[in-house]
Amino acid sequence: MSSVHDLTVAQLAARLRARELSAVEAATHFLGRIEQHAGLGAFLATDPEVTLAQARAADQRLAAGDTAPLLGVPIAHKDIFVTRDFPSTAGSKMLAGYRSPFDATVVTRLAQAGAVTLGKLNCDEFAMGSANENSAFGVARNPWDRSRIPGGSSGGSAVAVAARLAAAATGTDTGGSIRQPASFCGITGIKPTYGRASRYGMIAYASSLDQAGPMARTAQDCALLLSAMCGPDPDRDSTCLDRPAEDFARTLGDSVEGLRIGVPREFFGEGVAADVREAIDSALAELCKLGASLVDISLPRTELAIPVYYIIAPAEASSNLSRFDGVKFGHRAKDYADLLDMYKKTRAEGFGDEVKRRIMIGTYVLSHGYYDAYYLQAQKIRRMIADDFRQAFTQCDVIAGPVAPTVAWALGDKADDPVANYLADIFTLPASLAGLPGMSIPCGFGAGSLPVGLQLIGNYFGEAKLLNLAHRYQQATDFHTRAPQGL
């Protein structure tokens, strides 16, 4: 019998329902591992008392015959989701020790589905970053090679799942923060269509882009979690779509015979490292073996996604982060002369360098005289990027390519070079700007035996199709079952 931490969410849920394992036993096992592997820097907060109380409640529900899909399954949340029972920091000193008076909708939904919370996961400050190096609370380490970054901004989530410290985790993706760390840590993650999941209680970065999604080891597990996370939230998030919750696992067994997979030539240019390219090419060949066919497509504005995103996201961030002024919650400077001085000192002390940089860029591009030249222009190109996808989806059903141009880089390598970090986001930003669903699935290993992720991009509301394709691929391959050594 495999260890509790080797079980997938689906297997754990089945064991728990069969009463072969109790929720308290499962939670205790994972809490032990979290402590044992604290050096990975995955968790920012745990509270065994809270977790075990939730596990006992799950056991009672199980005993009463409750059939909630995730009953007793231990998961953890990116510290961007606010939680009543754990501190919520967004990886920022600004919110160190902050307790929210309410739970994010996604947290509530997963709790209703029966999941037990192990704690809160490390991330880049306010989800701004691609390496988890912008967290105010220390780096997270890639379990495949601890001298490497795990990716970001949901770095802690990817580490926790890859190192089997949690059966699954939540993440958020504004420009790639679920897909890229999933790719770098060899796990599976999906960002749904913008508006599928409620943003209520997700500490806002760039509101027109932010989306929640699950990170787990298999597509099947992602389907289970995503089904619980999505659905309308009419009183709390007006951008959350009025579409009924879906069972994303319902078509997992379907054949992919005849599926047309678009391969954008711009995703295979010279910037893509040879090891990544090789893994992606064999993944595409595998998809063909499953009955899909490849179609050559073009997403001509791929490169423009970087400047466009790095105008729009900071613009929205500069507005969203204006609420951190030291008045109602969060950090407040101690010594100050007057109100303005208090704001200044509070923000100077509370925010890290990258957050400050983005607030300044955002304020600049929105300012009088520059708005038209930068922000408005970026919005227009954003629309054109979405149109490119619309055009592409007349020729294919799903788009496939790399998640990132390289495998995970060494800690510190790009820490002082913000632009190098931005450039690494090139393949995840386009789908974010268009609001399309995207996922990452493990498809091989590159230099240094580090994982490579295949990105699948779907049309609006095409999550079930993506998950189905990913599931079929995972039935035919075993990359998603590999685990880092020494854990």
Q: Known catalytic residues?
A: 78, 153, 177
Contact call for residues 442 and 479 (beta carbons, < 8 A):
yes
3-class SS of residue 120? strand
Contact region with ligand GLN (CB under 6 A), list: 127-135, 136-144, 196-204, 447-455: 127-135
Contact region with ligand GLN (CB under 6 A), list: 108-116, 174-182, 397-405, 463-471: 174-182
Which residues sit opposite 214 in a β-bridge?
170
Q: How far apart are CA 119 and CA 181, in angstroms?
A: 19
Contact region with ligand GLN (CB under 6 A), list: 31-39, 124-132, 329-337, 456-464: 124-132
Contact region with ligand GLN (CB under 6 A), list: 123-131, 242-250, 407-415, 442-450: 123-131
Please name the residues in contact with 1: beta carbons below 8 A apart, sequence gap of 6 or more: none
Pick 326 or 362: Cβ nearer ligand GLN: 362
Task: Check residue 213 for interaction with ligand GLN (CB under 6 A).
Answer: no
Q: Which of 59, 79, 125, 173 is in the footprint of ligand GLN by CB under 6 A? A: 173
Q: Which of 75, 127, 304, 441 is in the footprint of ligand GLN by CB under 6 A? A: 127
How far is CA 454 from each of CA 190, 217, 393, 407, rounded to the nearest angstrom? 12, 14, 19, 12
The residue number with the shortest CB distance to ligand GLN is: 177
Pick 79 or 397: Cβ nearer ligand GLN: 79
- Smallest CA-to-CA distance from 76 within 137, 150, 5, 147 is with 5
Task: Check residue 153 for interaction with ligand GLN (CB under 6 A).
Answer: yes
Task: Check residue 190 for interaction with ligand GLN (CB under 6 A).
Answer: no
Q: Which of 74, 156, 175, 195 is in the footprint of ligand GLN by CB under 6 A? A: 175
Contact region with ligand GLN (CB under 6 A), list: 92-100, 171-179, 281-289, 471-479: 171-179
Tokens for 395, please give them. Answer: 């020729």
Tokens for 321, please give them. Answer: 């982060």
Q: How far apart are CA 178 and CA 155, in angstroms?
A: 9
Contact call for residues 178 and 158 (beta carbons, < 8 A):
no
In single-letter form, the type of residue at position 152 comes to G
Q: Which of 292, 313, 396, 441 is in the footprint of ligand GLN by CB under 6 A? A: 313
Task: Check residue 438 for interaction with ligand GLN (CB under 6 A).
Answer: no
CB half-sphere exposure, 241, CA atoms < 13 A: 16
Pick 133 or 397: Cβ nearer ligand GLN: 133
Question: What is the side-by-side strand order in the sheet with 116-121?
Answer: 43-45, 116-121, 74-78, 168-173, 211-216, 188-191, 438-445, 451-458, 398-402, 260-264, 293-297
Q: How far apart are CA 442 and CA 427, in angstroms?
A: 16
In single-letter form, the type of residue at position 175 comes to G
How far is CA 427 from each of CA 421, 431, 456, rounded to the nearest angstrom? 13, 8, 11
Query: Nearest distance from residue 313's CB to ligand GLN, in Å?
Result: 5
Query: Nearest distance from residue 395's CB to ligand GLN, in Å?
Result: 28
3-class SS of residue 381? helix
Task: Check residue 177 for interaction with ligand GLN (CB under 6 A).
Answer: yes
Contact region with ligand GLN (CB under 6 A), list: 168-176, 227-235, 446-454, 463-471: 168-176
Residues 414-433 that bind ligand GLN (CB under 6 A): 425
Q: Where does 214-263 have alpha helices with state H?
A: 219-229
Q: Which of 69, 87, 150, 176 is in the footprint of ligand GLN by CB under 6 A? A: 176
Pick 418 or 484: Cβ nearer ligand GLN: 418
Q: Which of 129, 143, 181, 231 is in the footprint of ligand GLN by CB under 6 A? A: 129
- Calculate helix-pair angle for 353-366, 305-320, nearest 10 degrees: 100
DSSP secondary-structure letter at 230? Answer: B
- The percent helix, strand, coil of the chain (3-state, each to 5) is 45, 15, 45
Query: Nearest distance from residue 334's CB to ligand GLN, in Å?
Result: 31
Query: Nearest distance from residue 128's CB to ligand GLN, in Å?
Result: 5
Q: Which residues make up the interface to ligand GLN (CB under 6 A)?
A: 127-130, 153, 173-177, 205, 313, 425
